[in-house]
A and B are shown apart, each in its own frame.
Chain A
Amino acid sequence: EAGVTQSPTHLIKTRGQQATLRCSPISGHTSVYWYQQALGLGLQFLLWYDEGEERNRGNFPPRFSGRQFPNYSSELNVNALELEDSALYLCASSFGGEKLFFGSGTQLSVL
């Protein structure tokens, strides 16, 4: 069974640009979570989608947004990129929320 897949693996952007990150959950999972892992800050919760709806968001500005599609895959969009957005972005999926399974992440570098 395929795990959580994320694309691209690496993404290089310049300040002010927009980035789009994608995530496909484990088959049968309806929830997708996005986390940011920046150096020295641990994992910070970004967004939670379930059944196509945004259920919760962490303490991030509105330029971080996303959506969940009918097939439960998800996109994370980051507008007006800033240098401090450079981080590993991790997606996780779950059915029922008891266990979260993570993908390998997208390493975003903002120059």
Chain B
Amino acid sequence: GEDVEQSLFLSVREGDSSVINCTYTDSSSTYLYWYKQEPGAGLQLLTYIFSNMDMKQDQRLTVLLNKKDKHLSLRIADTQTGDSAIYFCAERRPGYSTLTFGKGTMLLVSP
């Protein structure tokens, strides 16, 4: 497909794990990214993974990459109410210095 695809909405309870999924477009994409956007703010780079890696862990965040299926996921352990935000997946396609973004997944964490 031409677009980076993400589900629009995810609701979890505080303390649970959250998994946000993304399907990107180009199996040759060199870097895949996760950004977080809180209301009224810009995008914060959460983490990113190079295409030759399958997994990357950074504190509560775990990124899994399946290049064959062009599938990227972000797992947030012990989700907190402060994690409520919109999460964007992005890819850097070969030959491009710009990033292509999905439309974002709104994560709502309830107490």
A residues in contact (CB < 8 Å) with B: 4, 6, 31, 33, 35, 40-43, 45, 48, 50, 55-56, 58, 90, 92, 94, 97-105
Contact = CB atoms under 8 A, between A and B. Distances in A.
A33 B42 contact: no
**Main SS at interface, chain A:** strand
A40 B106 CA distance: 12
Nearest to A4: B42
Contacts of B101: 35, 42-43
Chain B contact patch, size range: 20 to 34
A91 B42 CA distance: 9
Contacts of B99: 45, 100
The 5 A-B pairs of least Cβ separation, nearest first, read A42-B103, A97-B97, A102-B42, A102-B43, A43-B101
Interface of B: 31, 33, 35, 40-45, 48, 88, 92, 96-104
Nearest to B43: A102
Contacts of B31: 98
B44 A102 contact: yes
Most buried by A among B35, B42, B99: B42
A8 B102 CA distance: 26
B98 A56 contact: yes
A33 B43 CA distance: 13
B45 A99 contact: yes
Nearest to A98: B31
B2 to A, nearest CB: 12
A94 B96 CA distance: 14
Contacts of A100: 45, 99
A56 B97 contact: yes
Contacts of A102: 35, 42-45
B88 A43 contact: yes
